[in-house]
Amino acid sequence: MIYDAAVIIPTTLRPSLARAVRSVFAQTSAGSVQILVGIDIARGSGDFLPALREECPAGMDLHVVDLGFSTARQNGGYYPTYAGGSLRTVLSYAANSRYLAYLDDDNWWAPTHLSDLLQAIAGVDWAFSYRWYVDPATQKPLCVDQWESVGPGRGYYRRRFNGFVDTNCLLLDKDKCHWMLPAWCIPLTERGEGEDRIVFGKLQSEYTYKCTEKATAYYVFRAADRAVIQRFIDRGKESASAAVGTVDADNAQAAPEPGP
């Protein structure tokens, strides 16, 4: 079966995976959706997986892919990417859809995220949404990110990377972006981090794009980054109801409750 969209979720079976998957289940007007959950290495029990399979709505299929080993170097695998090794690349090619979206297992989406992206990608090679910062301690949204993941040629990373878009905000046309998918295996740093910057660099320089102009992804920032995020907020930027660029506050959808 060919799906209208595929969602790729690398995981270590953290409990937050259940919330991430349920946010995909809640997508509206996105057509048929294939959900590919790839287990890098099991650090949790995954005892919630049977319940998720039962909850999977009509028009969606949930596939849990467990290779039985990790492809990440720090776990004995070959690829240096710390977060999942080669899983994003492998699952991107395995997906039975032209359109690929990516979701980390500790983040989630608003219900119109996929449908907004599918509308935006018409006529271009990739599309992106904006995102909300989520407090890692409370799991509550703080504000719309107006500084980091704001697209090509903008934001805090404009000079170094010509901008940035978070992995969780992307939708790729696999037909057009086919040859850049191995970039998910190529980290920026020796610690195995920053593959998202490599991917963004290729996307913004070699492919056409469009933004949904809506903040529909919810990004749980690392506790270690709290001081940086707080500095952004304290500089007098807009609060949680604010817009990014031309985003209207009414279009920045309220976050769902985190759930189990």
pLDDT band at 233 (very low <50, low <70, confident <90, very high): confident
Total domain count for the chain? 1
Contact 143, 238 (CB under 8 A): yes
Residue 243 has pLDDT above 90, yes or no: no
- Asked if residue 162 is part of any domain, the answer here is yes
- Asked if residue 256 is part of any domain, the answer here is no
| Three-state DSSP state, 153 | coil
Sequence-distant (≥ 6) Cβ neighbours of residue 182 within 8 angstroms: 89
* Nearest partner of 173 among 221, 121, 130, judged by Cα: 121
Check which CATH number belongs to the domain holding 63 and give it: 3.90.550.10
The string of pLDDT tens digits covering residues 74-111 is: 999 999 998 899 999 999 999 999 999 999 999 999 99
What does the pLDDT read at residue 244? Answer: 45
Sequence-distant (≥ 6) Cβ neighbours of residue 240 within 8 angstroms: 132, 141, 142, 143, 144
Kindly report whether the global pTM for this prediction surpasses the value 0.85.
yes
- Asked if residue 257 is part of any domain, the answer here is no
Sequence-distant (≥ 6) Cβ neighbours of residue 62 within 8 angstroms: 21, 35, 37, 52, 53, 56
Question: Residue 123 CB: number of other CB atoms within 10 A?
Answer: 8
Contact 104, 170 (CB under 8 A): no
Q: How far apart are CA 63 and CA 35, in angstroms?
A: 6
The string of pLDDT tens digits covering residues 181-210 is: 999 999 999 888 889 999 999 999 999 999
The string of pLDDT tens digits covering residues 109-167 is: 999 999 999 999 999 999 999 999 999 999 999 999 999 999 999 999 999 999 999 99
- Asked if residue 112 is part of any domain, the answer here is yes
- Asked if residue 179 is part of any domain, the answer here is yes
* Surface-to-core class of residue 245, CB atoms within 10 Å of its CB (0-12 exposed, 13-18 middle, 19+ buried): exposed
Q: How far apart are CA 143 and CA 11, in angstroms?
A: 26
Q: How far apart are CA 250 and CA 24, in angstroms?
A: 22
What does the pLDDT read at residue 133? Answer: 96
Parallel, antiparallel, or unpaired for β 126-134 and 209-220? parallel
Beta strands in 148-249 (DSSP E): 151-152, 163-164, 170-173, 209-220
- Domain hosting 20: range is 5-251
Token output for 179:
């040859």
- Asked if residue 39 is part of any domain, the answer here is yes
- Asked if residue 217 is part of any domain, the answer here is yes
- Asked if residue 215 is part of any domain, the answer here is yes
